[in-house]
Structure formats: C-alpha cells, structure tokens
Amino acid sequence: MATLEILKYPDPRLKQESVEVEHFDDDLQRFLDDLEETMGDGPGAVGIAAPQVGRFQRIAIVDISSKPKLVNHGRMFLINPEIVEWDGLAVGREGCLSVPDYTGNVVRAERIKLRYLDRDGNEIEIDTEGYEARAVQHEMDHLDGMLFVDRVVSRRHDLFRRKHYKQRGER
C-alpha cells in the first residue's frame, strides 16, 4: 500500500470530469487500498475521491463512522455512484483534503437514494441522510470536477479560514 499525493486547490486537474470504472481487476483493488490509506492519513477525513489523487475514474470512499451517533453505513467504496432520488435541502459545514485552509457552508440534499457498485462490482442501493448523505454528495462532486468552494452561495460569508475557525472553538 502507498499514500498518494493529494491535489490541492486551485490545481486545474481538480476540474476534470472522471470516467466510469469498467474493470474490477487487481489494479483497481490495489488503487482502492492506496486510496483508503491516503484517506486515513488525512486528519479526520470522512471521504476521498479518486480524482483528488489524479486518477480520473468514478471512485470514492465515504466513512463517517468516526461519528457513531449519526446514521451511517460504515466504510463504503463507491464505484460509479448515482443518486437516483433525493429529498429536502439542508445547509452544513464541509471541509476537503484538497482545500486544506478553508471550510464552507454548502446546501445539499437532506436524504438520498444512492446506487453504486461495491469494490467487487456488486450493485448496491441504500437510503441515507444527514451527514453521510452530505459526505456522499461532496465526494460525488469531485467526480464531476466540482469542489465545495464552487457551491458556496457567497465566498465572503460562507467560506471560513480553518485557523480562525479552530481558534474560535467552533469545532
């Protein structure tokens, strides 16, 4: 396993759209292990997407189980994920390994029905909500070349410098 280098905003490669995975081979399994290790390296990261390490395929990992009180499905390897239904809107704070200096307030669907392939290529469908649904939507944005900073309504009012944010003890 290896830790991969994370592309940081404003690297233009973060705007690239990713393509679907077609082969569930050894190369994919090795990559998933490396991506998992890279996520584990990030402080408190709840997700990571393949394009953040320069691999432009529709792959992400989401795991919010470090916050056990919230609805969660454990560690999910999301391959070719699709949101097939959504409902409700909510504002919440997000951070990103590719945008280490900022957090931001972003509007997301509150509840989603998610369809994806797991790391063995099995089709899975789940319903999720709240923070896990938010993390999934954040990671799926990466697959379309979008960052949370592209989604904030006002960069002046909805983006927060991390240092400032931590000093105020809001975290």
d(CA 55, CA 38): 13
d(CA 3, CA 48): 13
| Least separation in angstroms between CB 47 and Ni ion | 7
Active site annotation includes 139:
yes
Among 96, 117, 135, 143, binds Ni ion (CB under 5 A): 96
Strands 99-117 and 159-161: antiparallel
User: Half-sphere exposure (CA, 13 Å, Cβ side) for 93?
Assistant: 10
Bridge partners, residue 104, by sequence: 94, 159
Strand locations in the chain (E) = 47-49, 59-62, 76-96, 99-117, 123-129, 159-161
62 binds Ni ion, rule: CB under 5 A: no
| Least separation in angstroms between CB 64 and Ni ion | 13
| Least separation in angstroms between CB 120 and Ni ion | 25
| Least separation in angstroms between CB 96 and Ni ion | 3
Task: Give 96 or 114: the residue with its C-beta nearer to Ni ion.
Answer: 96
Task: Give 3 or 24: the residue with its C-beta nearer to Ni ion.
Answer: 3
Q: Residue with CB nearest Ni ion?
A: 96
Which of the ranges 7-15, 22-30, 96-104, 113-121 carries the binding residues for Ni ion, by CB under 5 A? 96-104
Pick the catalytic residue from 94, 132, 139, 170. 139
Q: How far is CA 150 from the centre of its chain?
A: 14
Name the residues that contact Ni ion, by CB under 5 A: 96
Active-site annotation, residues: 139
